[in-house]
Amino acid sequence: MKKVTIKSILKKKNQQPIVCITAYSAAVARIVDKYCDIILVGDSVGMTLYGMKSTRKVSLETMIQHAKAVKSYTKKCFVVFDMPYKTYTSKFVAYNNAKKVMKITRCDAIKLEGGRKINSIVKYLVKKKIPVMGHVGLLPQTSKNFKVKGKNEFQKVEILNDAKAISSSGAFAVIIECVVESLAKKITKAIPIPTIGIGASKHCDGQILVVDDILGLSDYYPKFVKRYTNLKKIIEKSIKEYANDVKLKKFPFTRNVYK
């Protein structure tokens, strides 16, 4: 398997859909690595694995541990580290944290949420040789409500300008989250770097979803999510059978016992 690089990601712009997904564990990373281009070690881990109500309480240390696990079992995919809330409040804070992340996890890039407000931060990090993926539209770390963005002209202009700013700052790609289809299409045509959509239509250069969502492990499913299986039911069935076997003294079986 040939390692995915920024160069190969950029080449896919308007040419071939980019396949992205989140991963937080070695076991999932090992599987994802066979089929995807980019793995995002997302701060969504706080909600999916730790039961947090938002991503805001996810610590840098927690993210680092998950990223180390993912990166250690990834050979092909380009691994992006999602910088947690308030870990990039200034260019110097961002650089010190990103430098630590890159050194410990060996991830290929970091991701920051925001547009023009973080323009100078992105420029500084790129200048310091730290690859950056942007994120515009709905911003989970700072949004007060989780509603579709870009329904009015003001929002459309704001988000488009944010995407342009991130692109001109040197980011190699940008995630567009939960925006109307027409806006996603316009942004994708307006900027030279690949756009990765999550709830932003097929007009983006690639797509990303949270792995727990597509596997049917989550409790809440936005409209843009497709569940490809229902692991929750499969896991429950397995645990129920195990519990019954133990209670009836059917487990361990003869083959499970050392002689």
Q: What positions carry a catalytic annotation?
A: 177
Among residues 100, 186, 95, the alpha carbon closest in space to that of 137 is found at 186
Q: Rounded CA gap, 15 and 96, in Å?
A: 36
Structure tokens at 172: 């190699």
Q: What whole-number distance in Å separates Cα of residue 181 and Cα of residue 209?
A: 17
- Provide the CB-side half-sphere exposure for 237 (13 A, CA): 5
Q: Which long-range contacts (CB under 8 A, 24 or more apart) does 181-186 make?
A: 182/150, 183/149, 183/150, 183/156, 183/159, 186/156, 186/160
Six-digit token pair at 177? 């989250």
Output the DSSP codes for 109-137: EEE--BSGGGHHHHHHHHHTT--EEEEEE
Residue where the block lists tokens 């870990």: 87
- Short-list 195, 209, 108, CA closest to 160: 195
